[in-house]
Amino acid sequence: MSNPMNISGHNPEKEAQMHRPPVTELTAEQCWEHLYSARFGRIATMDGDEIEITPINLVADDEKIYFRTAQGTKLLHLILNEHVAVQVDHAQGGEAWSVIVRGTARLLTDPEETRRVDELPLRPWLETTKLEYVEVTPVKVTGRLFHLGH
């Protein structure tokens, strides 16, 4: 059976897109789906009264975020103030999403913990030595889905 030709110009799919909200809040489950697939993000730390935002390679596992870093200002900021925010995002086609994790960071010093992180798919983009392991424990996770303009 063939479908009749639509000569009225009525396009239900386009109408549905026009009536959807431009921004949708993500559920916690959707946020974690995005976090589990992300390998790159940004971490916000405090340097006194200043906010510092730094790109990081990351991996999420068991509702925590892990990354490695070298000794330097980022690590110093984390030691002086454990409160951080991690942001990941992605845009493709007509949609984009962004997830923000607010939480606390701690330096992993137990060899068993660092061994476990080594088993995760955490790989740096640059061939640099990053011997320090950091775990971010979320306090609040939020996300949004954006339906981009036509």
List pLDDT tens digits, range 24-75.
999 999 999 999 999 999 999 999 999 999 999 999 999 999 999 988 888 8
Domain count for the chain, please give it.
1
Q: What is the mean pLDDT of residues 131-148?
A: 95
- Using pLDDT thresholds of 50, 70 and 90, give the confidence band for residue 105: very high
Model pLDDT, residue 125: 73
pTM, two decimal places: 0.82
CATH number at 65 reads 2.30.110.10
Residue 108 located in a structural domain: yes
Taking the C-alpha atoms of residue 23 and residue 101, their distance in angstroms, rounded to an integer, is: 18
Q: Tell the residue number behind the tokens 């983009």, with chain if given.
A: 125
Spatial neighbors of 43 by CB under 8 A, at least 6 apart, are 53, 54, 56, 67, 74, 84, 85, 86, 105, 136
Taking the C-alpha atoms of residue 6 and residue 17, their distance in angstroms, rounded to an integer, is: 19
Q: Tell the residue number behind the tokens 């790109």, with chain if given.
A: 55
- Domain extent at residue 59: 21-147
Q: Compute the half-sphere exposure of residue 116: CA atoms within 13 Å on the CB side of its CA.
A: 14
Residue 12 located in a structural domain: no
- DSSP-assigned letters across all residues of 11-63: -HHHHHHHHS-SEEEPPHHHHHHHHHH--EEEEEEEETTEEEEEEEE-EEETT
Model pLDDT, residue 14: 56
Contact in structure between 9 and 23 (CB atoms under 8 Å): no
Q: What is the mean pLDDT of residues 5-21?
A: 59
Residue 85 located in a structural domain: yes
Residue 38 located in a structural domain: yes
What share of the chain has pLDDT > 90, as a percent? 68
Model pLDDT, residue 17: 52
Taking the C-alpha atoms of residue 145 and residue 30, their distance in angstroms, rounded to an integer, is: 10
